[in-house]
Amino acid sequence: MGAAFEILALAAVGAAIALLLASLLQRRGTHAAHRPAQPADTAELENRLRDADARAAAVARDAALLVELVGVGVVRVAPDLTVTLANEAAHRLLGRRAGAMPGKSALEAFTDHRVEEIVRTALEAGSAVGELTVRTAEAPTILARARRTTSGDAWLVLEDVSELRRLQRIRAEFIDNLGHELRTPLTTVSLLAETLAADAGSLPPKAAERVAKIEVETGHLVQMVNELLDLSRIESGTAELLVADLDLAALATATAERMRLFAERQGVAIDVAAPAAVPLVRGDAERLGQALLNLLHNAIKFSAPGSTVTIRVTATESRVIVAVEDHGQGIPRADLPRIFERFYKVDRARSRVAGGTGLGLSIARHIVEAHGGRIWAESEEGVGSTFSFAIPVTGPDLRATPGA
């Protein structure tokens, strides 16, 4: 799926180049028609210019052909919201007659105020993204990405994501149904395992060991089902964020206290390093607490006994950064780009012994990104790892409506 989006992005760039070159070639042709005759000693220069024009025209044709093949719509909009260029794919995606869009206002061309708003936002802020359903018989779902150019115009790229959204809905429904079907039998097995474990003293040593193993593995299954359902809700956008002003330093202290007993059992100490006061952020305390808890749990789980895990909270003018630093075995450089993928485990053998589903980091990433932040990791093998996330600082307008 990521490769497909890269192809679409490259095609969109190609379309922009094609349309821009076509525009420049048209202007050059106009200027050439009014250009006075050149002296004979400039004939070689004229030949070179003609060759360059021919090569540029060929590149423009090839790029335009590529864009039409992948079905990406590209539209150029002037600062006064007038459509100046639009390729055939854009007309087709929006259900317009070929050549009907250029020269019209954005509202007339798109007949949808949401697209006009996306373009207007891009012209003002530099970029904008939105999704809409076109009012045609097919009713495709269109992802619109707009970006302002250095000349003041805006490029609008339109992608048909109908099939992608349909597959995402199917996946979410499958996970949701499967999770709910598994919860009841797993809960029953878990209760039976707990009952057997309570009577383990009267069982032979081998039987008691196996009962303990059943209890542990059942717990892992219950955790996986719960995290799958949680991740599915977060990815689909159905997990509602209860947003309010939030002190991330206080959240770090509270999370450390929640994990203190687990850390003591692992022989690991927890330290919180935070200034006396940090700027408030706008966020859901429960969700961001869950993200930090996942990072802290991983750090403790993979730290050696006798070591210390540190939660550091720092702030800049625009964001608050929370970092969880451990002194464990570290992560190989080749694995760093993939550690936030669902089910990805760096050392599967060790992860299986320590437990875990491979979903905690993926959940943390989605939670942070849902708050407009970003998450990343730094690591050195044999030294340790630092997982950090940054959340934008609350603005004055947000402070005025606490709990909204």
Do 312 and 209 share a domain, yes or no? no
Q: What is the mean pLDDT of each run of 10 residues along the chain (404 residues)?
A: 46 52 49 49 77 80 69 86 87 85 87 86 88 78 89 88 84 78 82 80 80 80 77 70 88 92 91 89 90 91 90 91 90 84 62 58 88 90 90 57 33
The CATH number covering residue 292 comes to 3.30.565.10
Same structural domain, 153 and 88? yes
Whether residues 126 and 197 share a domain: the answer is no
Judgement on whether residues 208 and 250 belong to the same structural domain of the protein: no
What is the per-residue pLDDT for 14? 55
> Do 175 and 156 belong to one domain?
no
CA-wise closest residue to 49 among 65, 69, 66, 29: 29
Taking only Cα atoms into account, the Rg of the chain, rounded to an integer number of angstroms, comes to 29
- Domain termination site, one of 207, 236, 265: 236
pTM for this prediction: 0.57
Q: What is the count of structural domains for the chain? A: 3
**Looking at residue 31, what is its pLDDT?**
47
| Residue at which a domain ends, from 160, 182, 216 | 160
Q: Kindly report the CATH number assigned to the domain that includes residue 60.
A: 3.30.450.20
Domain limits for position 380: 244-399
At 32 the pLDDT is 47
Give the CATH number, domain containing residue 207: 1.10.287.130
Place of tokens 């956008």: 237
* Same domain as 325, residue 257: yes
Q: Are residues 25 and 151 in the same domain?
A: yes
User: What is the spatial distance between Cα 158 and Cα 155, in angstroms, rounded to a whole number?
Assistant: 10
- The Cα 63–Cα 45 span in angstroms is 27
Is 229 within the bounds of a domain? yes
List residues bridging with 313 in a β-sheet: 322
Identify the pLDDT of residue 256: 93
Among 160, 185, 200, the domain boundary falls at: 160
- Same-domain pairing of 17 and 147: yes
Residue 10 lies in a domain: yes
Indicate if 131 and 205 belong to the same structural domain.
no
Do 181 and 221 reside in the same domain of the chain? yes
User: Is 21 within the bounds of a domain?
Assistant: yes
DSSP for residue 72: -
In a domain, 50, yes or no: yes
> Residue 254: what pLDDT?
93
In a domain, 404, yes or no: no
Residue 59 is predicted with a pLDDT of 77
| 329 in any annotated domain | yes
> Left if phi > 0, otherwise alpha if psi is -120 to 50, otherwise beta: which for 95?
left
- 257 in the same domain as 335: yes
360 domain-assigned: yes
**Residue 95 dihedral angles phi and psi, to the nearest 5°:** 70, 35
Q: Are residues 368 and 275 in the same domain?
A: yes
For residue 272, is it within any domain? yes
| H-run or E-run covering 60 | helix 43-70
**pLDDT at residue number 396:** 42
Please state, in angstroms and rounded to a whole number, the distance separating the CA atoms of residues 59 and 54: 9
- C-alpha to C-alpha distance for 41 and 258, rounded to whole angstroms: 84
